[in-house]
Structure 1
Amino acid sequence: MQQHKIVSREEWIVARKALMAGEKELTQAREALSRQRRELPWVKVDKPYLFDGPSGKVTLGDLFKGRPQLVVQHIMFAPEWDVACKSCSFWADGYDRMAPHLAARDTAMAGISRAPLAKLEAFKQRMGWTFDWVSSGDNDFNYDYGVTFTREQMDKGEAQYNFGTTPPYGDELPGISVFYRDDSGAVFHTYSTFARGLDMMNAAYHYLDLTPLGRHEEGLPYPMDWVRLRDQYQPAPVQASCCHG
């Protein structure tokens, strides 16, 4: 960590207020972008997807639970894996308790992965998660919404991740998709985001962004190399005290 300038409280407030101007600009730009997002055109979902859920087969419409909006977390968990992706789990830890708050604003949330339901349920219990999580292992949902690619697509360089703007680094990748259900029961795809577009949905990262060290990922093999499943972190080493009493 670089050596920081030490100043008086008065000088610090001047510097902090200067930064605040930039923060306000960012907030206003984000609000404008959110308005543009809400104005995107929609695509009707005509394919009758069936998912495996704890109570049996469910449709995409069932996942709305009577609400008009649905946020789907594409959690990376391939059928042959024993656990979900550690990075997707990092996100899932953050949104697990959001469901009641989203429901209060007419929005349901669900995780969807290709692994069989038994594996999803076992991992969900291990992590202590409560959100709805269903298996898309018997349908094309993951492929249609750009988070899973066939071996042929990968070999031919035809995998289109993040709308073709980000080279895929595997055949199973993360994303978020949003859907709307009207009074007739018709479902529409309204939005999807991938790669760095997922960043703002991780509250832990944004808390780290407030700190002097930030995300502290410089020099790692890849940014999230440090991330572990929540129950796999080792206790932090005890730091030697700089003071003697």
Structure 2
Amino acid sequence: MSTTENALPPVVDADTWRRELADLRVREKAATRELDAIAAQRRRLPMVELPEYTLVGADGPVRLADVFDGHPQLIVYNHMWSDGHEWQCPGCTGFTSQFTRLDVIERYYDARFVIVTNGPIDEALAYRDRVGNRMTWYSSADSPFGADVDAGPNEGFGVNVFLRDGDTVYRTWHTSGRGTERLSYLQGLVDLLPFGRQEEWEDSPQGWPQHPTYEQGMGSKEIAELYGMTRD
């Protein structure tokens, strides 16, 4: 008996399935090699020197060069923010809540990964705790830093990467929108499922379950109920 009312993939014998999988694997391997080539080009990108910025962390003002905490490399997730709101962007909240073992990147790759938001630091830290986020947060509310790295107030989110040489900081890479997807384990796992993300923009067979984009994801309140201070 079927466990779903949706359409199902065709059923074939094992040999046919292996042939179909082998055909798909050719494309998957080609995509892997292309991503390797993209990463190689990324490592050869030029960089731009930044002026000095002062952000605010849990312990007060801190120079951008000191946000590296002694490491030469820094990844910043620029978190969308609306001052005074109880619940911030669900996409940013869900994306950043998945990062819980950041000691690995610090210990083995000599880098740090932090959040910077344009919101005031007291609100930002309270929100971090409310939703169970375990990353280190900084505020650029009193600095042009957010706007200068393409994530200013009311501009959305982004990921920026920096390199430090002494006290001099350079910007090496930036992405936003769907460019952040490869940093998330969630989309990668869901894309492996037979029904995929079940969003209406996807090229799926007739009869596959689909819904408007982002309609099915958890909201910030639901994330807090699972991981944050509001959980039972």
Q: TM-score range by the shorter chain?
A: 0.7 to 0.9
Matched, 1:176 2:159: yes
Could you tell me the percent identity over the aligned residues? 28
**Match runs of 1:45-60 below 5 Å:** 45-46=50-51, 48-60=52-64
Given that 2:117 and 2:139 are in contact with CA atoms closer than 8 Å, whether structure 1 keeps it comes out as yes
Matched, 1:137 2:127: no
Given that 2:87 and 2:221 are in contact with CA atoms closer than 8 Å, whether structure 1 keeps it comes out as no
Equivalent position of 2:205 in the other structure: none
Instruction: State the 1:81 CA deviation.
Output: 2.7
Matched, 1:117 2:121: yes
Matched, 1:209 2:209: no
Report the secondary structure of 1:143's partner residue: helix
Matched, 1:99 2:99: no
Give the letter aligned to residue 142 of structure 2: D
Equivalent position of 1:39 in the other structure: 44
Give the letter aligned to residue 225 of structure 1: E
Given that 2:84 and 2:123 are in contact with CA atoms closer than 8 Å, whether structure 1 keeps it comes out as no
Q: Which runs of 5+ in 2 are unaligned?
A: 1-5, 201-209, 227-232
Given that 1:78 and 1:172 are in contact with CA atoms closer than 8 Å, whether structure 2 keeps it comes out as no
Given that 1:81 and 1:115 are in contact with CA atoms closer than 8 Å, whether structure 2 keeps it comes out as no
1:150-179: CA deviations, max 9, x gaps?
xxxxxxxxxxxxxxxxxxxxx330100000
Report the secondary structure of 2:128's partner residue: helix
Instruction: State the 1:217 CA deviation.
Output: 1.4
Instruction: State the 1:220 CA deviation.
Output: 4.0
Matched, 1:21 2:16: no
TM-score (norm 2): 0.84
Residue correspondences, number: 210
Instruction: State the 1:126 CA deviation.
Output: 1.5
Instruction: State the 1:230 CA deviation.
Output: 5.8
Aligned equivalents of 1:220, 1:43: Cα separation in 2: 42
Aligned equivalent of 1:225, options 208, 211, 215: 215
Deviates more, 1:66-75 or 1:78-87: 78-87
Aligned equivalents of 1:30, 1:102: Cα separation in 2: 20
